[in-house]
Amino acid sequence: MIREFGPNEIIYITLAIRYTILLSLIAFAGGAVGGLIIALMRVSQNKYRRWFAVAFIRVFQGTPLLMQLFLAYFGMAILGFPIDPWTAASFALILHAAAFLGEIWRGCIEAVPSGQHEAARVVGLGYVNRMRHVVLPQAMRIALGPTTGFLVQLIKATSLASIIGFTELTRAGQIISNATFQPFMVISLVAALYFVLCWPLSKLASNMEHKFNQATTR
């Protein structure tokens, strides 16, 4: 029997957006911690730390996210963990986000004028205090726009988790589409939901970048 595409189906798909949001938040939170570490390693004085950060960023930016998800998924089985789409998707997306945020934030840290580093050093601040009280607060202002922009990329990227069996918005749409044979309606609805989620963030990101550019250029 073919199911109708009715209110229940619309509600089922719409509610599945919570898993998309949750997965995006997990990936963003984990990626932010990892990204900060990678960004600090990337601007470090120690060349091995720098090399590690460069290699990490290159590998994750130079390979498809889908392959990273497959490797996380099948790699878990090899390491003896039970295969679970939640863990695999979170793990792969966190590493993916760490690489991209690391590269974005490196640029923001380097955009803080070097006089600020030097002045902080002259007044006797150690590495931790220099970064925490002088460099990072200024870098954060620069980073706000690009980071929000990346969040949009990340939300869109979570749709790939559907391929390894994670039931979020895209997969919920697929399930309903297969049951109702109404692919046009279902896919349009799913696309509209992603749009509603991403568009305000995109606008916010470009407003912030615009405001920042106006504040710093004449």
Partner 1 sequence: MYDFNFAPVFDSFGSLLVGAWLTVQMSCIAMVVGLILSIFGAVGKTSGPKPVRIAINVYIEVIRNTPFLIQLYFFFFALPALGLRLGPNQAALLALVVNFGAYGTEIMRAGVASVGHGNIEAAKTVGLNFFQTLRYVILKPAMRAVYPALTSQFIYLMLASSVVSVISATDLAAAGNDLQSQTFASFEVYIVITAMYFAMSLAFSGVFALIGKYAFSYPVNR
Residues contributing to the site for partner 1 (CB under 8 A): 59, 62-68, 70-71, 74-75, 77-79, 152, 156-157, 159-160, 162-163, 170, 173-174, 177, 182-184, 187-188, 190-191, 194-195, 198-199, 202
Shortest Cβ 208–partner 1 spacing (Å): 17
Q: Which is nearer to partner 1, 90 or 177 (CB)?
A: 177
Taking alpha carbons only, the member of 181, 201, 215 closest to residue 9 is: 181
In whole angstroms, how far apart are CA 9 and each of 14, 32, 115, 177, 185? 9, 35, 59, 10, 11
Report the distance separating Cα 207 and Cα 211, nearest Å: 6
Q: Which is nearer to partner 1, 123 or 192 (CB)?
A: 192
In whole angstroms, how far apart are CA 196 and each of 38, 87, 106, 157? 32, 27, 30, 16
Report the distance separating Cα 193 and Cα 27, nearest Å: 20
Shortest Cβ 194–partner 1 spacing (Å): 5
Shortest Cβ 119–partner 1 spacing (Å): 33
Taking alpha carbons only, the member of 161, 166, 159 closest to residue 195 is: 159
Q: Which is nearer to partner 1, 20 or 90 (CB)?
A: 20
Shortest Cβ 174–partner 1 spacing (Å): 8
Q: Which is nearer to partner 1, 33 or 67 (CB)?
A: 67
